Amino acid sequence: VGGVKIARKDVVKEDDPTNNVPDTIFSKIGLQLHMRDNHPLGILKNTIYDYFDKNFAGQFYKFDDLCPLVSVKQNFDDVLVPADHVSRSYNDTYYVDGQTVLRCHTSAHQAELLRDGHTHFLVTGDVYRRDSIDSTHYPVFHQMEGFRVFSPDDWSGSGMDGTAYAYAAADLKKTLEGLARHLFGAVEMRWVDTYFPFTNPSFELEIYFQDDWLEVLGCGVTEQEILKRNGRTDHVAWAFGLGLERLAMVLFDIPDIRLFWSNDKRFTSQFSEGKLGVKFKPFSKFPPCYKDMSFWINDEFTENNLCEVVRGIAGDLVEEVKLIDNFTNKKGMTSHCYRIAYRSMERSLTDEEINDLQWNVREAVKSKLKVELR
Ligand code: PHE
């Protein structure tokens, strides 16, 4: 499925210091889980499509096959991310080289689609972020972006005054409240003010679900500068971005984000096209095994780098990497102790296998992060 074909040499460049893409990440490019109609992410995507098709008479153009390799300009500059924003750092984003990244959000496509003349569009795709490891975080996940442009006729205005922005904000909220009801039924919702560089005002939509407020998406009224730069002066627009895994975990009762990547029939056979919200029945959960590792950190040490090294050795057998102790001695040296949880979702791991993994992880951490194991 899909048309994304990328060669290893085009994304993994071990001898280029401006590249930080490991093989574990390369191996996920092009899998396009959101294109599988029998996969929870595909089912969710299609259900959202249905909502927009029904309510907007097919006006929304759908893109789900745009290449995840984008320029730094597309990913950051075009959506007004400040030069010093943390998301631009090597610690947070996968850089192919100084000018090219694996997109960290689907907002990377806003500007080009606007320039191409689109006024209503949805962009679904895999996005990439360096992060720590636990049951809800995985360095590759999927987002859907929505974008709608209005012209003065829509708000029957004569210029860019408060009316225009109020009109866009009201339409945005109405549209997304409808979407949330389409997905979750009659739920309690609330809007929370937040910040994004590309929207103003910016909001998060939360719904009350299973005794908790759950953040469903981020959105807002598009910054005028983005419209101006891309051929839509005197227009207003709204945009939203939602994380498909986050919603699918709740809607299908999926307890661990790694399961989305599983080819195990006991997982894949539980979902079918058009059936949103079928509750996942966990197949017997295999026991976790915990291993601790302590070392003196150095100035370059970050938890994201540690997690990348651990994942490079243990892959999806690592369930969580957690800091359990942290102290600084009289000489000013800081020691961290991390607890690594190993667990397969498919089988029991043997002691020998885990000891081997842990030994390899220790060696890799020592050599790649230049920390001193204790
Ligand atoms: N790009 C934002 C994110 O990844 C989500 C977003 C999209 C927010 C569009 C506002 C408008 O968190």
User: Domain residues of the chain, as ranges?
Assistant: 8-266, 289-373
In order of 145, 161, 268, 317, the CA distances from 127 in angstroms are: 11, 35, 22, 21
CATH number of this structure's domain 8-266, picked from the four choices 3.30.930.10, 3.40.50.300, 3.30.360.10, 3.40.190.10: 3.30.930.10
Residues within 6 Å of ligand 1 by CB: 105, 107, 145, 196, 199, 218-220, 239-241
Q: Residue of the nearest CA to atom 6 in ligand 1?
A: 241
pLDDT at 2: 47
From the CA of 106, give the closest atom in ligand 1.
1
CA 374, distance to chain mean position in Å, is 35
Kind plus residue range of the DSSP H or E element containing 353: helix 351-369
Distance CA 276, CA 209 (A): 16
Q: Which of 196, 198, 200 to mutate to test the pocket of ligand 1 (most atoms within 8 A of CB)?
A: 196
Q: Which of 70, 105, 173, 195 to mutate to test the pocket of ligand 1 (most atoms within 8 A of CB)?
A: 105
In order of 138, 211, 257, 344, 349, the CA distances from 134 in angstroms are: 8, 22, 8, 14, 19
Categorise residue 156: left if φ over 0, alpha if ψ from -120 to 50, beta otherwise: left
Identity of the amino acid at 288:
P
Q: Are 323 and 303 in contact (CB under 8 A)?
A: yes
Instruction: Identify the CATH class of 289-373.
Output: alpha beta
pLDDT at 141: 98
Categorise residue 315: left if φ over 0, alpha if ψ from -120 to 50, beta otherwise: left
> Tell me, what DSSP letter sits at residue 310?
H
From the CA of 243, give the closest atom in ligand 1.
4
pLDDT at 3: 60
Kind plus residue range of the DSSP H or E element containing 295: strand 289-296
| Nearest CA-CA partner of 314 in 268, 279, 361, 267 | 361
Q: Residue of the nearest CA to atom 10 in ligand 1?
A: 219
Distance CA 231, CA 235 (A): 9
Tokens of 207: 């719904």
| Successive 10-residue mean pLDDT values, the chain, 374 residues | 76 95 96 97 98 96 97 98 97 98 98 98 98 95 98 83 91 97 94 98 93 93 98 96 96 95 96 96 90 97 97 96 97 97 94 97 97 96
Q: Which of 113, 192, 198 to mutate to test the pocket of ligand 1 (most atoms within 8 A of CB)?
A: 198
In order of 200, 238, 348, the CA distances from 220 in angstroms are: 6, 6, 46
Residue 196 Cα to ligand 1 middle (Å) = 7
Instruction: Find tokens 């915990």 and name the residue.
Output: 290
pLDDT at 5: 83
Given the cut 0.95, state whether the ipTM is greater than it: yes
Identity of the amino acid at 87:
S
Residue 150 forms beta bridges with which residues? Answer: 236
pLDDT at 137: 95
Distance CA 209, CA 24 (A): 34
From the CA of 242, give the closest atom in ligand 1.
5
pLDDT at 285: 84
Cβ-based neighbour number of residue 287 at 10 Å: 10
